[in-house]
Amino acid sequence: MKAVLATLLATACLAGCGGGSSMTVPAAPPAQPSGISFTVFTKQLLRIDSDSAQPTPVTSAQFVFPDDDNPQAFADVLPAV
């Protein structure tokens, strides 16, 4: 179970953080929030319908909201169900 949770959080975090390294970028890009993509995290949670699953700990999770301005966000989330 711990492995599943770690994967879930790691996947969401990677999606939220984006790729690349600032070390290769000569000029600092616009501030990119770091953390766990709330959209990805939510999609993954919504796929879980097991009665035996354990809740995912989120006490120290830092969420980012990359879809605040995405008009398709809800439609994107629903297919996860």
Partner 1 sequence: MNRRTIRGVLACAAASLSLTALASSHREAPFIAGQPKVDGTDFYLFRSYEPGRSDYVTFIANYNPLQDAYGGPNYFTLDPKALYEIRIDNNGDSKADLSFQFRFSNTYKNLTVNAGGQNVAVPLTNIGPVDVAGGNLNLTQSYTIELVRGDPRTGVHQQVSNATLGGQTFYKPVDNIGMKSIANYPAYAANFVYSATIPGCATPGRVFVGQRKDGFVVNLGEIFDLVNLNPVGPRDGAPNTIPDKNVTSIALEVPIACLTHGNDPVIGAWTTASLRQAAVLNPDPEHSDDGDGVRVHGGAWTQVSRLGMPLVNEVVIGLPDKNRFNSSDPSHDAQFLTYVTNPSLPVLLNALFGSAAQPPGTPREDLVTIFLTGVKGLNQPQNVTPAEMLRLNTAIAPTPPASQNDLGVLGGDLAGFPNGRRPYDDVVDITLRAAMGALCGKVGNCGSMTTDPNNGLPYTDGARAAGPDAANAHVSGAESPTDFYLDGFPYLLDPFPGSPHGATVSP
Per CB under 8 A, residues contacting partner 1 are: 38-39, 41-42, 45-56, 58-59, 61, 63, 65, 67-74, 77-78, 80-81
**Minimum CB separation from partner 1 for residue 46, in Å?**
3
Nearest-approach distance from CB 40 to partner 1, in angstroms = 11
Least distance CB 20 / partner 1 (angstroms) = 25
Give the Cα separation of 17 and 11 in Å (integer): 10
The crossing angle, in degrees rounded to 10, of helices 2-17 and 38-46 is 140
| Residues 64/41, Cβ–Cβ less than 8 Å | no
Output 13 or 39, the one with its CB closest to partner 1. 39
CB hemisphere CA count around 22 (13 angstroms): 8
